[in-house]
Structure formats: structure tokens, C-alpha cells
């Protein structure tokens, strides 16, 4: 059960800086390789629809397969919005690092300093856990997505009864803390949505206003990301143009029922995974981030200093502060991925931000030996960034 809920709420939701070999850049022409993988996502993996947007220099390519809505057959459009899951963490980490640059907080501050008494007892000492350890998942704080009390509500058919429940960030943290730590702070690595719930709460404390306001003021408005926002806890809808999100509720088996879960209460995602965006907006954001336009040099170095999860996360993937590096057959790309019921997505690109691919599927499964949508995304990245290398297969 814990494995299943971890996949539901956090999958895709995972050395040294700048050491990776550069990745070859493709030209601005048609993306036959990427389009082929999108087609296979529908024909082989059985997903309702798939999309990808490539930005290489000043050129943009957008491709789709399948449908945005299985009832109407509507095509997927570039402006269609979707839930981005753990890519939310990149936005949150950026805000935290901007606050650090302004000396409104420090990455060495303790959780206890900002949230006194919240992470205490059950083997915890919040004074020993730093903001940096929250952002790079070395805090040891238990993942609320694995908490048995939430697993009982958000896995399988019970999700349909509880997807409109309203959970506060404090409730999410409390559900995690009672399970005790995974390890002492700084002695291990474990992906934990609780880390970013705490980081979001610290942002609100340090800034004196909501996380959504900080993200809007610092990121989405300056970059003109008109389709990107953090919904309020009780806002069940995706505003603006969007397709449908389909889920098997992480029930195994190719014949598991599929449900439309487009509308849900994102409160259980909060700072770890509740935001909404588009492939175009995500490419714009990650280009600005990778180019160094969002952070001063010191904070940029902090963000892109990656740790090796040592087999505890996605293969060939390392984690920094809200960003990840992924080793392909021809080099390394940088970005982040996210998953939430009914929508999985990836945005990765070259370290200079000039060449990016953002992709999403409107289902949370993959048949035909793909393993999960991550296999599809990796094949797309190989096709785009390593066109001379053998294409990744299922």
C-alpha cells in the first residue's frame, strides 16, 4: 500500500554542478523521433493522449497524439492547461532561493526557527533540520504521501470519495510526523512531499503572504506565464482551456477501470504538487531558470548542485534544490518532472536553457512494457537530444 500511494502522489514528482557533458542540439525541423514516441504512447501504452513542445533557440515545434477528451475526440491544443504535479517543487525552490538572496531567510535556518513545534517528537528535532535539507530531500522527514492514514483515502476507489477533501498543509505535515523520521537529518536521501509542504509554509512565514502570491509576483507575472498558477485549496477546476485527466487510480492491470479525475481538490498537493501550467509556459520558465535569469549566481549554484539518490529514485537521475539532472545516452539534461492523478509531465533541456522539451500525457499508466509514463518521456528525450543514438524502446 505504501508503495502504491508513493507512486500516486510523488512519482516523477527525483556529484557536482556543471560537470555533465553537453548534449547535442537538433535542428529546428520536424521531430519525427519525438512524434513517433507520442504515437506509441497512444498505440502501445494505451494512453488517451500525449503532447510535446520543443523549443530550440528561436524555433518551436508542437506535436500530439490521441485526444484531449475521449468523449468528444477533441484534439490536444498548445494552450491546453494541465496539472504539473511535482514540477511545482521547482517553482517553490526558486521562491525560497530568491528569499535567501534577499536575506529574508537562510538555507541554514532550521525548521524550528520558522515553524516552532511543528516537526517535533516521534524522533524528530526540528532544530536539526535545515531549509536546504528540505529542498534537497536529505531531511529524513517522512513522506506524507506514504502515511497509512492518507493511503487509505487516496489509493484505489477510495480516491473517488476523497478527492474533494480539503487538507491543510499543517494536517499533511502532522500525518507525516507521527510516522517518525526515515533517518537523521543529513545522513541519507529520500524523496518526501512533506519537505516541500514545510518549505511552502516557511515561504509564507518569511514573506508574510500566501505561496500563490509569491509565485505569481516573483515568477509567473515577470515571465508572462499567463497559463500558470497555483490554485487555492478549494478550487477543484482547471481554469482556461484544458482537456480531461484520466486515471486508473494506480490499480494494476491493463484492464483496470479508467476514471475522469479532471476535477479534484489540490490541497493534498500544496507546495509539493498542486500547480497548473502548459508545455509552453514550462519551457519559458525552465529556459529562464537554466539561463540564470531567475536567481543570483550564488543561489543558482545552490539549486544546481545535485545529489545522487543512490537508487532511491528515478534511474540515472540526480536531485538538486527542486531540479533534477537526467543522464541520457549522449549527455545530461536538466529540469523536473511531475505526476498527479490523471496527468504526468516532464520538462528537461540543455544546461544553457537554449534547447528544451516539455511533454505531458493525460493518463497515469503505461501498458505494453513501458513501465510508466516515465519510460515514454525518456524515449522522447533520447529522440530529441540524442538523434544519432539508438532510440530508447519500451
Query: Taking each helix axis from N to C terminus, what angle separates 193-207 and 169-177, rounded to the nearest 10 degrees?
Result: 140
Q: Is 312 exposed, middle or buried (0-12, 13-18, 19+ CB in 10 A)?
A: middle
Q: What whole-number distance in Å separates Cα of residue 360 and Cα of residue 172?
A: 27
Q: Which of 36, 43, 59, 86 is catalytic?
A: 86
Give the residue carrying C-alpha cell 517528537. 121
Please choose, from the candidates 265, 147, 270, the residue with its C-alpha nearest in 3D space to the C-alpha of residue 201.
270
Q: Which helix (H) or strand (E) holds 127?
A: none
The span from the CA of 78 to the CA of 45, in Å, is 22
In the chain, what is the greatest distance between 2 CA atoms, to the nearest angstrom?
58
Burial 146-164 (b: 16+ CB within 10 A, else e): bbeebbebbbbeebeebbe
C-alpha dihedral (184, 87, 57, 374), degrees to nearest 10: 90
Contact assessment for residue 38 and residue 64, using Cβ atoms and an 8 Å cutoff: yes
Distance CA 43, CA 274 (A): 29
Q: Are 15 and 318 in contact (CB under 8 A)?
A: yes
Q: Are strands 317-319 and 324-328 parallel, antiparallel or unpaired?
A: antiparallel
CA distance 259 to 378: 26
Give yes or no: 36 in active site.
no
Cα(219)–Cα(92) distance, rounded to whole angstroms?
Answer: 10
Residue 181 burial (C-beta neighbours within 10 Å; 0-12, 13-18, 19+): buried
Strand partners, 344: 339, 361
Catalytic residues: 86
Amino acid at each position: 500500500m505504501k508503495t502504491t500511494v508513493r507512486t500516486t502522489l510523488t512519482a516523477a514528482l527525483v556529484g557536482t554542478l556543471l560537470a555533465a557533458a553537453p548534449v547535442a542540439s537538433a535542428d529546428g525541423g520536424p521531430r519525427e523521433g519525438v512524434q513517433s514516441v507520442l504515437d506509441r504512447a497512444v498505440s502501445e501504452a494505451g494512453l488517451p493522449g500525449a503532447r510535446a513542445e520543443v523549443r530550440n533557440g528561436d524555433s518551436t515545434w508542437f506535436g500530439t497524439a490521441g485526444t484531449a477528451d475521449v468523449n468528444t475526440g477533441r484534439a490536444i491544443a498548445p494552450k491546453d492547461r494541465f496539472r504539473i504535479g511535482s514540477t511545482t517543487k521547482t517553482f517553490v525552490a526558486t521562491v525560497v532561493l530568491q528569499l535567501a538572496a534577499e536575506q529574508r531567510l537562510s538555507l541554514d535556518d532550521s525548521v524550528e526557527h520558522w515553524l516552532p513545534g511543528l516537526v517535533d517528537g516521534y524522533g524528530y528535532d526540528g532544530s536539526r533540520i535545515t531549509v536546504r535539507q528540505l529542498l534537497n530531500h536529505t531531511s529524513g522527514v517522512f513522506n506524507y504521501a506514504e502515511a497509512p492514514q492518507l493511503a487509505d483515502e487516496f489509493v484505489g476507489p477510495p480516491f473517488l470519495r476523497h478527492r474533494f477533501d480539503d487538507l491543510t498543509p499543517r494536517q499533511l505535515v502532522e500525518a507525516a510526523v507521527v510516522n517518525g523520521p526515515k533517518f537523521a537529518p543529513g545522513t541519507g536521501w529520500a524523496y518526501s512531499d512533506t519537505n516541500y509542504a514545510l518549505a511552502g509554509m516557511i515561504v509564507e512565514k518569511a514573506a508574510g503572504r500566501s505561496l500563490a502570491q509569491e509565485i505569481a509576483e516573483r515568477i509567473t507575472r515577470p515571465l508572462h506565464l499567463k497559463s500558470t498558477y497555483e490554485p487555492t485549496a478549494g478550487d477543484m477546476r482547471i481554469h482556461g482551456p484544458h482537456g480531461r485527466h484520466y486515471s486508473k487510480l494506480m490499480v494494476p492491470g491493463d484492464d483496470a477501470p479508467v476514471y475522469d479525475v479532471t476535477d479534484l481538490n489540490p490541497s493534498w498537493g500544496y507546495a509539493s504538487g498542486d500547480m497548473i501550467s502548459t508545455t509552453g509556459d514550462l519551457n519559458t520558465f525552465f529556459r529562464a531558470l537554466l539561463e540564470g535569469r531567475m536567481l543570483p549566481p550564488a543561489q543558482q549554484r545552490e539549486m544546481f548542485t545535485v545529489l545522487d539518490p543512490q537508487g532511491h529514485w528515478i534511474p540515472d537521475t540526480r536531485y538538486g534544490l527542486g531540479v533534477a539532472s537526467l543522464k541520457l545516452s549522449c549527455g545530461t539534461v536538466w529540469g523536473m518532472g511531475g505526476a498527479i492523478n490523471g496527468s504526468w509531465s516532464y520538462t528537461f533541456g540543455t544546461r544553457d536553457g537554449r534547447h528544451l522539451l516539455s511533454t505531458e500525457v493525460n493518463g497515469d499508466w503505461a501498458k505494453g512494457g513501458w513501465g510508466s509514463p516515465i519510460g515514454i518521456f525518456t524515449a522522447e528525450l533520447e529522440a530529441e537530444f540524442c538523434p544519432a543514438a539508438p532510440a530508447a524502446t519500451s
